């Protein structure tokens, strides 16, 4: 919604200011200038990126427009999943815990958190490192280094659309100049015409430069920045998993390990300790039985 509001404000200010100066809106509408600029921009985007990045860029733009980032309830669900797994690691035989890790799609624990289960990459990330904890041969600092390397790889992959869009945004002013030059060439072919006709041709050509600069700095660059911010926030759950599991491997109780993960969440989205207690710890599969057993 913020992207759409920003575009409306920007376009309304531009067109309103132009009209207030006495300009005519019809002059800005030069369809073939738009075809040249957008066509060259699309061509360079296709040349510079593999098809997987092109498809992912479209997906990333839709995510940025819809602000598809982990919400407070998503973080609570992730903390609840981690707490349940850590509790199982402490109280259940190894083979029972492995059954959940080896087949998360049919696991009752993962089914309790359908949104996390739907995220195949995050689910696999959790399962891989819980499996390493079960094996028990690796040291915590070794696992932490491996996690950081994988998170860096995930982040690099997720932010590829940002780099792709930024490259096109940087090229747009030059692409606009290309369209303007072609317009000037057309105007020079009509040099023998009246000043009114020649002025119209030159004005139309200059629209190309304007559109290139406007598209670069007022549209594509902000959109690329929004895509980067959205995708970076989507990497935050991996950091929560890392801090929580490393704290558990270093001897922290599940409740304390959750606090390590909670502290990695930004202050605006971070659930309170009471919320974690009520939603992430109490509302977990088998929590009632576990509490009775503890009593």
pLDDT in tens, 86-124: 999 988 888 888 889 999 999 999 999 999 999 999 999
For residue 267, the model assigns a pLDDT of 86
Assess whether pLDDT exceeds 90 at residue 136: no
Write the CB contacts of 164 (distance below 8 Å, at least 6 apart in sequence): 45, 48, 49, 53, 54, 57
**Does the pTM exceed 0.75?**
yes
Assess whether pLDDT exceeds 80 at residue 125: yes
For residue 286, the model assigns a pLDDT of 66
For residue 291, the model assigns a pLDDT of 36
User: How far does Cα 255 stand from its chain's mean position?
Assistant: 30
For residue 290, the model assigns a pLDDT of 41
Average pLDDT in the chain: 88
* Both structure tokens of 251: 């001897």
Assess whether pLDDT exceeds 80 at residue 50: yes
* Both structure tokens of 136: 């028990």
For residue 40, the model assigns a pLDDT of 93
């Amino acid at each position: 919604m913020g992207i759409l509001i920003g575009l409306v404000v920007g376009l309304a200010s531009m067109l309103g200011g132009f009209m207030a100066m006495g300009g005519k809106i019809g002059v800005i509408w030069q369809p073939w200038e738009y075809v040249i600029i957008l066509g060259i921009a699309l061509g360079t985007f296709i040349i510079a990126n593999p098809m997987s990045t092109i498809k992912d860029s479209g997906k990333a733009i839709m995510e940025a427009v819809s602000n598809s980032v982990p919400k407070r309830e998503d973080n609570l669900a992730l903390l609840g999943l981690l707490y349940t797994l850590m509790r199982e690691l402490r109280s259940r035989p190894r083979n029972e815990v492995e059954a959940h890790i080896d087949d998360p799609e049919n696991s009752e624990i993962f089914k309790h958190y359908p949104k996390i289960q739907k995220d195949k990459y995050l689910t696999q990330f959790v399962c891989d490192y819980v499996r390493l904890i079960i094996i028990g041969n690796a040291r915590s600092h070794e696992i932490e280094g491996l996690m950081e390397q994988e998170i860096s790889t995930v982040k690099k992959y997720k932010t590829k659309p940002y780099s792709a869009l930024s490259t096109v945004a940087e090229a747009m002013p030059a692409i606009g100049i290309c369209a303007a030059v072609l317009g000037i060439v057309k105007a020079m072919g009509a040099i023998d015409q009246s000043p009114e006709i020649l002025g119209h041709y030159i004005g139309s050509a200059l629209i190309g430069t304007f559109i290139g600069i406007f598209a670069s700095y007022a549209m594509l660059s902000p959109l690329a920045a929004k895509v980067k911010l959205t995708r970076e926030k989507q990497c935050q759950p991996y950091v929560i998993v890392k801090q929580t599991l490393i704290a558990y491997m270093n001897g922290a109780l599940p409740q304390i390990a959750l606090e390590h993960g909670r502290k990695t969440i930004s202050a605006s989205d971070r659930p309170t300790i009471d919320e974690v207690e009520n939603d992430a710890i109490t509302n977990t599969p088998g929590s009632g039985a576990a509490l009775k057993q503890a009593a």
